[in-house]
Structure 1
Amino acid sequence: MMKRRKNKEENRDHQPYTKTTAIIQVIMTIALVVFLAPILIIINYSFKTKKELYLNSPLSLPEKLNFENYVNAFKKLDLATTFSNTFLYTAISVVILALLCGTTAWAIARCKKKFFKFAYIYFVIGILIPYQALFLPIYTIGYKLHLTNTRFGIIFMYVATGVSFGVFLMTSFMSTVPLELEEAARIDGCSVFRTYFSVVLPLLKPAMATLIIMQAFQIWNDYLLASLYVSKKELKTLTVAIQSLFSAQSSDYTTAMAAIVISVLPIAILFLSLQKYFIKGMTVGAVKG
């Protein structure tokens, strides 16, 4: 039996190079080039001088690495302030969403009453309505509650607009958590809070990582809600500050590209650090949801 298994594995390893495999590799290579090309162009532009940008070919490499664009980005965009604001809004919003959506999804998945079924449908409907279509009521409510131009207001709105997707994602993953573990914890005398934080929460790492990455992407790169709710200079985010470099009269493309590179680094680091959990969360949620 062992010899047969080894022979089968060897045959799999030495399968002929088919046309289907070649086509898939060509498609994947084209997709890789399409996705990498804009990133490489932005990095290339961030090291160019203004003269090289306008006179040389767009695909030509810079004569030397010009870090002056990054220095200008820090000065013109006040990156010490805008970067800190963006990080603060994103971090706090994501933590609140992870805790809130996890507990809500747990209650919906474990309770079979009509109220919880209605609540789940309510959150699903919230996904179907983009918050961009609700800008007027969102701003009206925020203005009347004195939430505009406040850190609490912008964080509150990010949580409010992201909770529907978070609950939907976490509820679909909750079916993978064995109910027997929770029953055993209750028999051992664990309270509801200890059961969730000691038993359920550790098993939700893939879903939590998926939620954190996707919401962090959206909040970090958001421009519309940040520009709507914040007008004070000391509260502006990085994306709003970068937009100020583009105008009808003049545009500082090289500095803007350097700022974009700086803004992408934290999200790239977050994705790389949670990548294995993200992939697992997406695949399990897709199969079990």
Structure 2
Amino acid sequence: MSSSPAAVADDSPDLVCHLDSIHGMVDALTSVRWKRHQDVVLEISEHGIVVIVEESGCLQAKVYLKRELFVFYEYTAEGRPRFGMSLDLFVDGLNIFSALGPATVVEIRYPGPDMELVLKTVDFPNGSLYAAIRTRIPDTISWDYNFEPTGNVPISFTVKSAVLKETIEDLEWPGSSIQIVLQPDPPSVTLRGDGHGELQIDFPYYASTDLLIAFQCDRRIAYWYKYKFLRATTSNIPASVLKDNRGSKLTIGRGGMLKIQHLVSVGRPGAPHPHGDNFGQPSRIAYIEFYVKPEEDDTPINDS
């Protein structure tokens, strides 16, 4: 990343957008930052920006940044350009702009003069701050998450995000796996840690709807997942999500593919926005999705 007072070239960029909630964007991107020195692939389109992170062909995360999250969004490219970059530099670069104050608006432009992703202050009273982050041609995503529901009734449950994070941390065991079991009668979810003996955590649906917000299951199903991959899905949930007591949805698809969804608010409280009202700003939500493959030697139960 470099900074310079030089002006940004205006040679027909594919994307120019303005962001007025840098902190919210940092929260969303940090959600998929489970280790140092991660690379991401950005895909841009007329609908918004998708940020994709992958680990060892077993864990994939996506951050969906709809165009409604931005106060201005202009897209002129054909197709859906993709480019790779450092997630660390992207987050650190945005953090530099967030230090300028909550009212700061940042322009995101791609490509810059040398195919960089360009960040620049908009109408800043004390001059201009400019940063350019080097991009690269992305490697092909090495696996297709190919998420398909199992049967006619999707197997899913929604639990408070803070409870999910705490539960996974409580089942920690180096190099271990966690089994997730859903059964319809009585309706419940069990997370069982390998290496802990009899240690398991149960969520009976009717006994505690404050924790297990929603539940949908018509047959017993169970799969094992690597602990380190499950922990990555919750390790950096933003404090704002935990404070707001939001829920995270977990869905088990065909073959045991696990999808975990979080919602992160991207908007300045009280700030006017052309795509949503100021009460809750329903359109200004970033969708975070994780896809986790089950253990290869697992024997599925009732996966049909």
Fold shared, TM-score > 0.5 on shorter chain: no
Task: Please give the TM-score of this superposition, normalised by the length of structure 2.
Answer: 0.24
Larger RCO, structure (CA 8 Å, separation 6 or more): 1
Higher strand share: 2
Task: Please give the TM-score of this superposition, normalised by the length of structure 1.
Answer: 0.25
Higher helix share: 1
Which structure has the larger Rg?
1
